Amino acid sequence: DVKVTQSSRYLVKRTGEKVFLECVQDMDHENMFWYRQDPGLGLRLIYFSYDVKMKEKGDIPEGYSVSREKKERFSLILESASTNQTSMYLCASSPTTREQYFGPGTRLTVT
Amino acid sequence: QKEVEQNSGPLSVPEGAIASLNCTYSDRGSQSFFWYRQYSGKSPELIMSIYSNGDKEDGRFTAQLNKASQYVSLLIRDSQPSDSATYLCAAPSGGSYIPTFGRGTSLIVHP
């Protein structure tokens, strides 16, 4: 069974804080993704990575950065958290057959 | 702009009925198609994949693909209240690992 884990289920941070969200997958997938999901807006891609140290911007990269130093780990960084970054953050990994396996999600609240 | 369109619903069906969920996509280069189920407050879970025209059955689920008409559907036979969830359709563009997700159809199965 594919397992994707995320570092926190719930997180509360203050405006201006630097926030790290971590994701780990155990299936040796090349591709990893970070999404945010908001009511009425669906899944929106923030960043993805197709290999170690490789990253590509998704649809809404502003205010975010990512790091992939090891194949199994993909981190999302909010450089200076703002209230409009309050959301559900979902990590996914994907093999070459393109289906996606999601982690449980992190519900981030920025106050 | 590559798009995947779904009726947001809610689609309400009685227990035991067939639920039919539909999805259209704009990119003719898409070769693989996926259905995900997402319970409220949870992350999406892959339930079906389909790559060629026709039907693919897995238990109570049948995925149907018609590339000429650019639509994908998911049928759920003998619907159960536990099937109540949002169903997301996804289609990576041809040659890409990045899926385009629809916004999902909410399904309610009432006893």
Residue A84, pLDDT above cutoff 80: yes
Residue B10, pLDDT above cutoff 80: yes
Instruction: Measure the CA–CA gap between B50 and B42, rounded to whole angstroms.
Output: 24
Instruction: Measure the CA–CA gap between A1 and A26, rounded to whole angstroms.
Output: 9
CB-based contact, B77 to chain A, within 8 Å: no
Instruction: Measure the CA–CA gap between A45 and A93, rounded to whole angstroms.
Output: 13
Question: Could you tell me which chain A residue has the CA closest to the CA of B92?
Answer: A98
pLDDT at site A96: 80
Instruction: Measure the CA–CA gap between B109 and A8, rounded to whole angstroms.
Output: 32
Instruction: Measure the CA–CA gap between B52 and B66, rounded to whole angstroms.
Output: 8
Q: Return the C-alpha torsion angle B68, B69, B71, B76, nearest 10.
A: -90
pLDDT at site B1: 67
Q: Do B97 and A58 touch (CB under 8 A)?
A: no
Q: What is the pLDDT of residues B38-49, one digit of tens each?
A: 999 999 999 999
Q: Which residues share a beta bridge with A92?
A: A33, A102
Q: What is the pLDDT of residues A87-102, one digit of tens each?
A: 999 999 998 878 999 9
Q: Do A102 and B43 touch (CB under 8 A)?
A: yes
Q: What is the pLDDT of residues B69-88, one digit of tens each?
A: 999 999 999 999 999 999 99
Residue A72, pLDDT above cutoff 70: yes
Shortest CB distance from A48 goes to which of B98, B101, B103?
A: B98
Shortest CB distance from A42 goes to which of B32, B43, B103?
A: B103
Spatial CA neighbour of A45 closest among B96, B24, B81, B48: B96
Partners of B92 on chain A (C-beta within 8 Å) are 98
Mean predicted lDDT score pLDDT of chain A: 95
Min CA distance, A57 vs chain B (Å)?
11
- Determine contact, residues A90/A43, Cβ cutoff 8 Å: yes
